Structure 1
């Protein structure tokens, strides 16, 4: 079950964290991986790991917020069967103290970046006679989270784009779903805590871990397993859905 043999998959932000876990798992399941990241260097560890296990992998330096770069990159890749829109950044702040430059930066990467990849990928999926898209949303699109104004706005847009694409391209055998993780322990999270809570890293890690009712953060491999299912033929009856993977955060946090 869940084989990706003879499938060509693109994963954005595949150099670390959730993206890396998705890329390596998909490669183990037989997919040919194409990793898009801000630099070749940032994707190299993932490339090395996949190559060690005999997987086929390629990497591309590309700023997903730059449409010309994205279109050129997808032209190099050619027809695809799977797109995982994983690249994204976080931001701390409410609507009052979020500056315009910060808001624009989050929108450019988390919203325009997803749009750019969708825009470039749809023709490639069509030429492959259909395929699957998974967009990385967030629990921040479902519930109010303090000081996440720009991030929540962006992830709400990602969820809406997922529904729009699923509706528009259903007749062309293109499925589109999203995943909404709660906090997942990645180097990104460690860097986020260090940057925003200097001197209180251990305290904040514990606090953020316990904010999930299950009592811990998620693991990248757990998100990757869900992405694998959604991109497999076994999920062929699923489109236009969002899947929280949140340790009970949305419905049990009371």
Structure 2
């Protein structure tokens, strides 16, 4: 990861959870890092903070240009900003569908459009989109969220095809259920948080939730020159949830 020295990275939704873990790992690996977030407060030393709302194109363009000016350019864009949703297709109204798709899909579109002029000036340009196991596996009570992350997966492939000849690599990381503040809040709302956590642990073949640091490591690999021949790829960091079909324990 020493190859990141001298590179400039922009992380959306980088003030907490997977985004913050990624921003910190990029920085400790040698990159200069700017964070775009609705509330980029109290960031660790070494991370540049820029307030932006990914549903507002002007806000995103202004913050991206300011970050690029401060960093001297952008080599890496991590499209991490996103929100969750719970329910079947019957449970979320049109306004919530519009809101989640606006953040999770169009937010990536806006950030990418804003960063592309800067990425085109880089010799080691990379974009990493944050997807989800929900894009490739049917999960209960995640209809809206799954639809948004399925769109992210397809968007990643289309972007990779569009920009490969310009030297801009585009990949995505599909985490399993990660131990993040958002998941923690969901667990706190459950009737039996301990039982719900145990159920989530059991759902992943490795028997535990994915950590934010593990997801960050995958993101940083795909963003780094070490992955120079990797584009149009979805890297699962899900404890085997998507690919493994295990017998019940003891059989």
Please, what TM-score do these two structures have when normalized by structure 2? 0.93
How do residues 47-86 of structure 1 correspond to structure 2 at under 5 angstroms?
47-48=43-44, 51=45, 55=46, 57-78=47-68, 79-86=73-80
Structure-2 separation of matches of 1:2 and 1:246: 26
Alignment deviations for residues 101-159 of structure 1 (CA, whole Å, 9 cap, x no partner): 11111111101111111111111100224500000001111011111111011001111
Please point out which of 120, 124, 136 is paired with 1:142: 136
Runs of 4+ in 1 over 6 A off after TM superposition: none
- Counterpart for residue 194 of structure 1: 188
- Counterpart for residue 242 of structure 1: 234
Contact kept? 2:75, 2:119, Cα under 8 Å: yes
- Counterpart for residue 11 of structure 2: 11
Aligned residue-pair number: 242
Secondary structure (helix, strand or coil) at the match of 1:104 reads helix
- Counterpart for residue 204 of structure 1: 196
Alignment deviations for residues 19-68 of structure 1 (CA, whole Å, 9 cap, x no partner): 11111111001111100111132xx2xx22xx2xxx4x210111111111
Contact kept? 1:181, 1:244, Cα under 8 Å: yes
Unaligned runs of 5+ in 2: 247-251
Contact kept? 1:2, 1:233, Cα under 8 Å: no
Unaligned runs of 5+ in 1: none
**What is the alpha-carbon root mean square deviation over aligned residues?**
1.3
Judged with a 3 Å threshold, the aligned counterparts in structure 2 of structure 1 residues 186 and 3 are, in CA distance, closer, same or farther, namely same
Alignment deviations for residues 235-254 of structure 1 (CA, whole Å, 9 cap, x no partner): 00000000111111012145
